[in-house]
A and B are shown apart, each in its own frame.
Chain A
């Protein structure tokens, strides 16, 4: 299984809502990543987990809260988001990390904040 899955595919939320994005991989990878991608722009790294510990936080606002419950799962908890946070949120994983390995990306969650 060389797949990274993400749920939900689409999410619409208000600025006062709390929601979570989920990511799962069963490749035995020990590094997992969250990226944010706006339209016509490249993915931008948000967080890196290595062996279930947060190793990189790219100065992301605290309204985004990552969590890695185990080596296969990665969550991104969302609270009090702004309309400018609307984007495609991509999860990725790699064999080891922080990584010089190939990163396998999920299909993303399209988030709209109203």
Chain B
């Protein structure tokens, strides 16, 4: 069966440390993978997109890797801050299904001062 799994429902880290979130998928062939941030009661906000032929993408303190052999993406936030506390969602873009976006269940990140 097709699955997208994010490593944990919740992740607690200390301010200044690097947060690493994992997204694994099975029986999908995504053309792209995206990461979104969602705050309580708000819509998701796009952070980064990585294509199947890209290994790594960076934006300021954010870094995403994409390993299509392992069927895994890692999302890193370096020098984390309490303001980074939110739920982070990975999403697969299924080009062979009309560009449909399938979300993982999310990881709730809490950064403590």
A residues in contact (CB < 8 Å) with B: 4, 33, 41-45, 48, 55-56, 88, 90, 92, 97-100, 102-108, 110
Could you say which of B41, B46, B95 contacts A102, with CB atoms under 8 Å apart? B46
A106–B41 Cα gap in the complex (Å)? 11
In the complex, which of the residues B46, B100, B105 contacts A56, with contact meaning CB atoms closer than 8 Å? Answer: B100
1/0 per position for B62-104, CB-CB distance to A under 8 A?
A: 0000000000000000000000000001000101001111111
Give how many A-B residue pairs fall within 8 Å (CB-CB).
Answer: 54
Total B residues in contact with A, Cβ cutoff 8 Å = 23
Q: How far is the CA of A99 from the CA of B95 in the complex (A)?
A: 8
Q: A41-B105, A42-B89, A42-B105 are in contact. Are A99 and B99 (CB under 8 A)?
A: yes
Separation in Å of the A69 CB from the closest CB of chain B? Answer: 22
A55 to B41, CA, bound (A): 28
B90 to chain A, nearest CB (A): 9
The answer on a CB contact under 8 Å between B105 and A110 is no
Q: How far is the CB of A106 from chain B (nearest CB, A)?
A: 5
- Given the known interface contacts A41-B105, A100-B32, the answer about A106 and B43 at a Cβ–Cβ threshold of 8 Å is yes
Residues of B whose CB lies within 8 Å of any CB of A are: 31-32, 34, 36, 41-46, 49, 89, 93, 95, 98-106
**Are A42 and B41 touching (Cβ within 8 A)?**
no
Q: Is the CB of B41 within 8 A of A45?
A: no
Docked complex Cα distance between A68 and B87 (Å): 30
Contact between chains at A100 and B93 (CB < 8 Å)? yes
Nearest Cβ on chain B to A27's Cβ, whole angstroms: 13
- Nearest A residue to B95 by beta-carbon distance? A100
